[in-house]
Amino acid sequence: MSLFRKKDLAAMLAQSEDGGKGLKRTLGAGNLIALGIGAIIGAGLFVRTAAAAGQAAGPAVTISFIIAAVGCAFAGLCYAEFAAMIPIAGSAYAYSYVTMGELVAWIIGWALIMEYALGAATVSIAWSEYLNKLTGGAIPYEWSHSPFESFTDSMGVAHSGIMNAPALIILLALTLLLIKGSQESAIVNAIIVFIKVAIVIIFIAVGWQFIKPENHTPYLIPTGQAAVTDSAGKVIADYSGAFKHGWGGVLGGAAIVFFAFIGFDAVSTAAQEAKNPKRDMPIGILGSLVVCTILYILFGHVLTGVAPWTDFVDPEKGREASVAYAISTYMTGYGWLATAVTVAILAGFSSVILVMLMGQSRIFYSMSKDGLLPKAFGDLHPKYQTPYKSNWILFVFVGLFAAFVPGSVAGDLTSFGTLFAFVLVSLGIWILRRKSPEMERPFKTPLVPLVPILGAVICLAMIFALDMQTLKVAFIWMILGLFVYFLYSKKTSKLNN
């Protein structure tokens, strides 16, 4: 059998209904937009904005957000066409199966584990860190860090981690919620999204009156901007590079904030649970992108107006806790807002973990239905009709990583999996338009093949911009995936029967 055997679209659509025994269709357009916002707005908004301003764009980080949003929009338009046309839980995996064949579908399904599973683990570790900050370090170091982490306190006492218990607890709580049902998960996600978006809007509204026009002048980092050094004389920011000042710096800033948009593709994994996917999926994907873009631009404008962008150069001074720093330093009388921002970050992390876990379990469900993974991944709960075994298996895998591995290990692997999916989805739209132009398309990506080509090229450029260590680990992970495919999945595939 060919390695590029394709799944019949009619059979795939029939599978999505599954005689009423499949996933419940309970999500409307509003739920899907909230899922998208829940996945997109996390710590990226609060950390990446200051990092991009301090390292490359200055106050023009607002323009960087616009450029990054345009890049995401190319991929988002392609996702919207696929999700409306093929309302299947597998997202990029399912789309690749129809357009490019089984091997490519397996490769992207395997790569998406880096986006969703490792992403959920990494964010849960960060959730634990911020919870400790919010509680004033009340959680003992030993029970909030992995065994591979240690530090010596001011008294000279050495501490070594045992396990990251808070990360494990939040993963367990959200796993139980997902097993209960997608509608319940969507309701909790909507509440979390409301909280964090409300705090972001409050910061924008309150901070607007503290904007100083001189902080936006000049708007671009000027040519000849001096390098910045720390107290030890080490250079922490050099603006001599082409993408470190001026309009080049705006593009450099776009590359930094691009990753604050990652997550909207998770909406497509819920296509099989949408009430009216032909109408609601494009609204959910593109609607969440539009809402987040507007909030990002306003947020960047206020943050760089309240505090000069030079304050965000030094990570120890203002970049890592940029919003809390700006509030406490320049917004007198609003100390409570700094605490509220930490709550918003915690809420942001929670919704990101929820959507990542949901997305990964739905991809496992779809791959299991195709015979590429064991049957257990596709078993639905007899009462809740959710892939509960897949949720539990995912909890064990992600939980082991979160509890016993440092968050820094994942690095940019999450970004690699995301960008790889974007590339294949963009190319898939072009391929399907050429091979099956007669297919019904409730939503059409405009300007094909220009939009898909631009989406693929931009995302490929982002992949090559990742550090070499990340690319090496990703390569090893993909080789491992090929071993699994040829030793197991190729033989058990339903297309092989």
**In the chain, what are the domain boundaries?**
34-489
d(CA 121, CA 113): 11
> Rounded to a whole number, what is the distance in angstroms from the first to the last CA of the chain?
10
Q: Are 455 and 75 in contact (CB under 8 A)?
A: yes
Closest CA to 440 of 203, 43, 85, 77: 85
CA-to-CA dists, residue 164 to 143, 172, 233, 357, angstroms: 5, 13, 35, 18
Q: Which pLDDT score is estimated for 19?
A: 47
d(CA 270, CA 23): 10
Q: Which pLDDT score is estimated for 319?
A: 45
Q: Which pLDDT score is estimated for 470?
A: 77
444: burial class by Cβ within 10 Å (0-12, 13-18, 19+)? middle
Q: Are 196 and 347 in contact (CB under 8 A)?
A: yes
Q: Are 132 and 144 in contact (CB under 8 A)?
A: yes
Full-model pTM: 0.80
Q: Which pLDDT score is estimated for 306?
A: 93
Q: Which CATH architecture has domain 34-489?
A: Up-down Bundle (1.20)
d(CA 124, CA 131): 10
Backbone angles phi, psi at 313, to 5 degrees: -80, -45
Q: What single-letter DSSP state applies at residue 152? A: E
Closest CA to 83 of 264, 261, 260: 264
d(CA 186, CA 353): 13
Burial 192-217 (b: 16+ CB within 10 A, else e): bbebbbebbeebeebbeebbeeebbe
Packing angle between helix 29-40 and helix 335-369, nearest 10 degrees? Answer: 110
Q: Which pLDDT score is estimated for 349?
A: 85
State how beta strands 150-152 and 228-229 pair.
unpaired
Mean pLDDT (10-residue bins), the chain, 497 residues: 74 62 74 84 75 86 90 87 80 84 90 84 84 81 81 72 90 92 80 86 93 92 78 72 81 79 78 82 90 93 92 63 82 85 82 86 88 90 86 93 75 74 88 84 90 89 76 89 93 84
